[in-house]
Amino acid sequence: MPGKVPDKVVMDSMDKLHGTTNFANLATYSWNTFRYVGDYLHLFGIIVLIATIAKNQSVAGISRSTQVLYFLTFTTRYLDLFDHTQTTYLVVFKLTYIFSACTTLVCFYMLNHTYQRVNDTCNLSVIIAPCITAALLLTNEYSVLEILWTFSEFVEGFAMVPQYIFCYREKGARDWGAGLYVISLGSYRVFYALNWIYKKYQMPHYSDIQSWIGGVIEIIFFVDFLNYRYTGNSMLRTAVLQVDTKINEISEQVELKVLGTSSTNRDSEGGAVRRRRPANDDDGTQMADV
């Protein structure tokens, strides 16, 4: 998965399986073509993202919330760098993901004046809080590293949702680089799902429920987004935007009661007032192909 190059699943499953043959087979089947394609699609997507920001000197078209979720995913999943001996391949990919996540967030800080807040409306607490709960309930063991790893699996499943919401709300010209980034990240997950299916077929006792749940959620959103992007049809778009709008309305009401003001009334650093768009605020135009 974008943060799943480090196949912690391999380590955990190896502990669960008995016998030298099972151990060796799982290690062998875990390194398959689907996994490699997924890993490099993920890497390609990250390169496209950073190159697009550098070329445009702008973070327009990119959801900062999605980048925050990926930062959380990588930093909570790759703590095994400190307590596991790993191949150079895994170490390089893991460090690349962490470094790229930090770099992207720094770009948002430095290019804050280009950040399109009006489109990036997803409330992160609505994603993070349930993921914490799910991690505590579904972890395989109650150790800090295991709980954080499980948390990262669920967070990654929703990491692209803020970006999809951003794209749903975006109007006008879309940057091809941002579109290619979104498609690369979604495609990477599809190949990881094929990787799981292949391993399950080869090793019937192989199990990684947490990864599968997160993967299925992400693929459903991705497939629906592709359908919307290329045909203008979507089963999830209206529902997602309605829920997003409602959550933000509730959040602003709470802010008004607690702080006496809300994000709707506070000026951004650039002086523009941030306003939530209603779910049905659409000009009816279809998103351009990448």
Structure tokens of 122?
């997803």
The larger pLDDT score, comparing residue 247 to residue 50, is at: 50
What are 190-223's pLDDT values in tens digits? 998 898 888 888 888 887 888 888 888 889 989 9
What are 138-195's pLDDT values in tens digits? 998 899 999 999 999 999 999 999 999 998 888 766 778 888 999 999 999 999 889 8
Q: How far apart are CA 185 and CA 220, in angstroms?
A: 13
Residues of the chain above pLDDT 90, percent: 46
Of 102, 150, 231, which Cα lies nearest the Cα of 223?
231
pTM tops 0.85:
no
Alpha-carbon Rg for the chain in angstroms: 20
Residue 119's Cα: distance from chain center in Å? 17
DSSP state string for 27-50: HHHHS-HHHHHHHHHHHHHHHHHH
Confidence check: pLDDT of 15 > 80: no
Q: How far apart are CA 60 and CA 178, in angstroms?
A: 9
The confidence band for 270, taking pLDDT boundaries of 50, 70 and 90, is very low
Q: What is the pLDDT of residue 209?
A: 84
Mean pLDDT of the region 11-23 = 47
The confidence band for 101, taking pLDDT boundaries of 50, 70 and 90, is very high
Confidence check: pLDDT of 264 > 90: no
Q: How far apart are CA 31 and CA 152, in angstroms?
A: 21
Q: How far apart are CA 1 and CA 81, in angstroms?
A: 17
Please, what is the end-to-end C-alpha distance for the chain in angstroms?
Answer: 23
The larger pLDDT score, comparing residue 225 to residue 277, is at: 225
DSSP H or E stretch at residue 248: helix 237-259
Residues of the chain above pLDDT 70, percent: 79
* C-alpha dihedral, 44 to 118 to 162 to 34, nearest 10°: -20
